[in-house]
Amino acid sequence: MKKILILLIFSAMTYVSLFAEATTNGLLCNEEAEMANINVADFKIAINCNDGNWSATATAKITTATNHIWELWSTTVAGAISGGTLVSTITGGLSATFGWLDLSKHYYIVHYSEISGNPVATRLAVPDFSANASLAYVFKNKEGVVKDNFCFGEDIFLDPSGTSNYDRYFMSVWRRPSGSNANFALYADYGWTYSNNIGTLNLSKLVRTSGENPGEIFEPGYVYQLQFAIANPPNCIPWIELKREFRVECCAGFISGAFELFQESWYLKVDNFETYDNIGATHSWVILSNPEQESGSFSNYGYVGETITTEPGPQIVALNISHLSQPYYTVIHRVSTLCGDYCYGQQIRSSYLREDSELSKRSGDDCELCGPNACDFLDNECFGTGFLTMYWEQGASFKIVWVPVPGVTDYLVEISYNQGPCCEDSSGEQWVDTYHTTNSYIYPDITWGNCFSIRVVTICDEMEIWSEYACDESHLTTPPGSETKHGSGRTTGKDLSLPMLYPNPANEQLSVQLPKGAIVETIRLLDMQGRVVFTKQQPDQQFEIDCKALPAGMYTIRITYADQSQAIQKVQIIHP
């Protein structure tokens, strides 16, 4: 008998006999009534599964009964023996078999017969194979702790250990506001997945990136209900579901903007920060320059720029800091979420400008903006511009450009001739020209043949914050084509013999004019990720770079001279 049972289990036809009984409807007389036993059904049901064919065989217990009629009814209620829809009728015979039953429905069989002329009607629910499978699961965090209450930003995992006999599973997520008694409403539908090995699932990632309605997140302030179901049609396992609930709330101190900051060549890079991808967090990086570790006054910080990242680290957040004169750079990471903004600051000392010093990070008492306390500062303070440059555009127009400061709509540009920190050795006439603009650039009328220095004033709510001075290079003291030479100009940083780039920003084409007499070995154009997108060996003094196929964004021109010295300059490409 055991051998027969083992063969049946592993054969293509699965046969399982499950017997059901019901009470007799109607009265029997004398011997027939005693034989039928009014309190016991007059037939039994055996079900079996043959490669997905769920069938039910009903067999009469009272062999003397006559005029048999067997009816199969379908219903939506498990265990029901009334109502529903008549599916099939078989007339005659002590038994009847109904095949290819629909796994999405429930069934019962009605048996009509006569015993000594007395009509008898009994009915039984048709069993299914759901008892041959099991469904169990719990919710966990990434550390494996079982829980039902989660912080916003915490990934929610489903552990289905104990679930068996399935070849597919279904998930949908329903929700209602915390504290509400309203019905749950459908929120995210993951649909069916065909697999007999679920494993631990990251629910936060699944509803965010896949399923039938990707893009959803587990928002705070809601109770969520997971509808989780399995099935295995080849084994006649019907839909089996189990619903469980969990809650998501904002938790103080859970989300952090902490990161690592380091300098690599001319770039500032960040790494080892939590991306919080599954809650739709955005990451912005504000770069400030400052002369000291502790500036004392926030007005001493210069706004260098802001970068948005969408990928994990390492990420470049500042392209080129070699041309900036400040020795310290503060990077503030803002993580914006539905629970608010969370900021974290780090400071670094430029190894490029301080070549004799070790690269060092500042935190705690050494840096007033470091650590998780910088959001209010960003929202309430005003900065000077931390980047200021000048160049010739195509058509011999001289242009001064600076980084626009968020929240600032008015700027004053001061051009000082033959005076100030850039022109200490100049003996020419001294005067100052000022320009007012709402743009982040001007086309000034320069009096050539003089040394000049430039600085920009940002105006914020009656405050005036000055940028650091930018000094003219020797090739900028005369307009292109002029024979007049003037060499009194100098820079407050490192003289890198910068080229002229125009137009900047560029659209379809960028013109590059190298310093006269310079022997250039290689010129490269690099994108924000440090990838070389253009290279030219031993270029002419003036040439063009085709920008039509380059994505819009910030780029760096890197020039290597014959003596292996290098010059770096920033350029922006736009495609309006």
Residue 489 · residue 472 · CB < 8 Å: yes
Q: Which residues, including other chains, have CB under 8 Å from residue 524's CB and lie 6 or more apart? A: 532, 534, 535, 536, 557, 558, 560
Same fold, 2-128 and 260-380: yes
Span 51-68, average pLDDT: 95
Q: What is the model's pLDDT at position 53?
A: 96
pTM greater than 0.85 (yes/no): no
The per-residue pLDDT for 145 is 96
Alpha carbons 173 and 157: distance in angstroms, whole number: 14
Q: How much is the average pLDDT of 302-307?
A: 84
Q: Which of 24-38, 127-141, 286-300, 548-562 has the lowest mean pLDDT?
A: 24-38
Lowest mean pLDDT among 37-46, 85-94, 251-260: 37-46
Residue 255 dihedral angles phi and psi, to the nearest 5°? -80, 135
Q: Which CATH class is domain 2-128?
A: mainly beta
* d(C-alpha 160, C-alpha 304), whole Å: 50
Q: How is residue 529 written in tokens?
A: 């990720």
Least confident of 18-22, 117-121, 465-469, 571-575: 18-22
- The pLDDT value recorded for residue 204 is 94
Q: Is residue 295's pLDDT more than 60?
A: no
Antiparallel, parallel or unpaired: β 149-151 and 237-249: parallel
Query: What pLDDT does residue 459 have?
Result: 81
Distances (CA, A) of 229 to 105, 155, 173, 192, 389: 15, 21, 12, 9, 63
Sign of the dihedral through C-alpha 368, 373, 379, 385: positive
Domains of the chain, residue spans:
2-128, 133-249, 260-380, 382-494, 496-576
Report pLDDT digits (tens) over 224-271.
999 999 999 999 999 999 999 999 999 998 999 999 998 877 678 899
Q: What is the pLDDT of residue 291?
A: 64
* Per-chain mean pLDDT for the chain: 80
Q: Would you say residue 354 has pLDDT above 60?
A: no
Predicted confidence band of residue 283 (pLDDT cuts 50, 70, 90) = very high
In whole angstroms, what is the distance from residue 233 CA to residue 241 CA?
A: 15
Strand partners for 328? 290, 349
Tokens 């019901």 identify what position? 22
Q: How far, in Å, CA of 435 to CA of 437, rounded? A: 7
Lowest mean pLDDT among 134-143, 265-274, 352-361, 384-393: 352-361
- The burial of 169, by beta-carbon neighbours within 10 Å (0-12 exposed, 13-18 middle, 19 or more buried), is given as buried
Of the CATH numbers 2.70.70, 2.60.40, 1.20.120, 2.30.30, which one belongs to the domain with range 260-380?
2.60.40
| CA–CA gap between residue 470 and residue 358 (Å, rounded) | 27
Q: Determine contact, residues 47/131, Cβ cutoff 8 Å.
A: no
CATH number for the domain formed by residue range(s) 496-576: 2.60.40.1930
Please spell the DSSP secondary structure of 223-277, one letter per residue: EEEEEEEEEEGGGTEEEEEEEEEEEEE--TTTS----EEEEETTEEEEES----G
What CATH code would you report for 382-494?
A: 2.60.40.10
The DSSP code for 476 is G
Give the model confidence (pLDDT) of 402-438 as tens digits.
888 888 888 889 888 888 777 877 778 888 888 888 8
Summarised one tens digit per residue, pLDDT across range 179-201 is: 999 999 999 888 899 999 999 99
- How many helices, marked H, and strands, marked E, lie in the chain? 4, 41
For the cut 60, the answer to whether the pLDDT of residue 496 exceeds it is no
- 500/480 Cα distance (integer angstroms): 10
Tokens of 220: 């705070």
Q: Tell me, which fold does domain 133-249 have in CATH? A: Immunoglobulin-like (2.60.40)
